[in-house]
Structure 1
């Protein structure tokens, strides 16, 4: 396990993380500290605990909004996927009908060709 030193609201904290995740953890801490700095600037010194709670709630609020957007996008993706599957099924059905019609036309042309050949042979034998 790796260890990272992060600074939140002017205080240093040693945090453990998986190897290779040090930069990610530092970035998350810096982002969270940004919320605290923002609230400190807006409300002044209202206490470390209140600042931390307000920043935590802001982060959870953003997470909640992101989850809502993700759910909406998933629903939209599901609808588009279903519509695409419906179109593909309809296209397959049309292709099958077209193939059947083409087969019918080919048989008719073949029977006409056979009739023409037979008529030509009849006129040659007379």
Structure 2
């Protein structure tokens, strides 16, 4: 334990604190001294006990106002966190749906390619058949023209 000598309202006090917390304690006492002296200047000398009580009430009021603001911010943060989780869930759902859609589109594309290949083969076969028939027809005509 460390000991810190402080001056408050013109009186010396020796306070104990955890090792390493001396500077923090001194800063707190500076703040309390400022509040106490400010109230003393504003309200006059009401007596040390009454001024200490008013100072404590002021400090506690500031603490509760700050705590209230922190609680509000924590609620806002919690709400934002929930919205973020919902958004994240929607993004994963959207991604999953798009992946399924891409798989279906890929399947449709493969089916279309297969159909085009099959139709190309059928078209080539029809052309071959038509070409053979036309060639045969011409050959028959030429045979008839030669024999006539």
Shift of 1:4: 0.5
- Compare 24-33 and 4-13 and name the one that shifted more: 4-13
Q: How does 1:37-76 map to 2 (within 5 A)?
A: 37-76=37-76
Distance 1:80 1:55 in 2: 37
Distance 1:43 1:120 in 2: 101
The answer for unaligned runs of 5 or more in structure 2 is: 129-148
RMSD of aligned Cα (Å): 1.3
SS at match of 1:19: coil
TM-score, structure 2 as length reference: 0.80
- Considering Cα pairs closer than 8 Å and 6+ residues apart, tell me whether 1 or 2 has the greater RCO: 1
SS at match of 1:114: helix
The residue aligned with 1:87 is 87
| Residues 49-86 of structure 1 deviation map (CA, whole Å, 9 limit, x = unaligned) | 11111101100000010111011101111111111111
- Compare 12-21 and 110-119 and name the one that shifted more: 110-119
SS at match of 2:19: coil
Q: Is the 8 A contact 1:17 1:25 kept in 2?
A: yes
Shift of 1:122: 4.0
Distance 2:120 2:42 in 1: 101
Distance 2:61 2:18 in 1: 27
The answer for unaligned runs of 5 or more in structure 1 is: none
The residue aligned with 2:5 is 5
Distance 1:120 1:44 in 2: 104
Distance 1:96 1:23 in 2: 56
Distance 1:58 1:9 in 2: 17
Shift of 1:89: 0.8
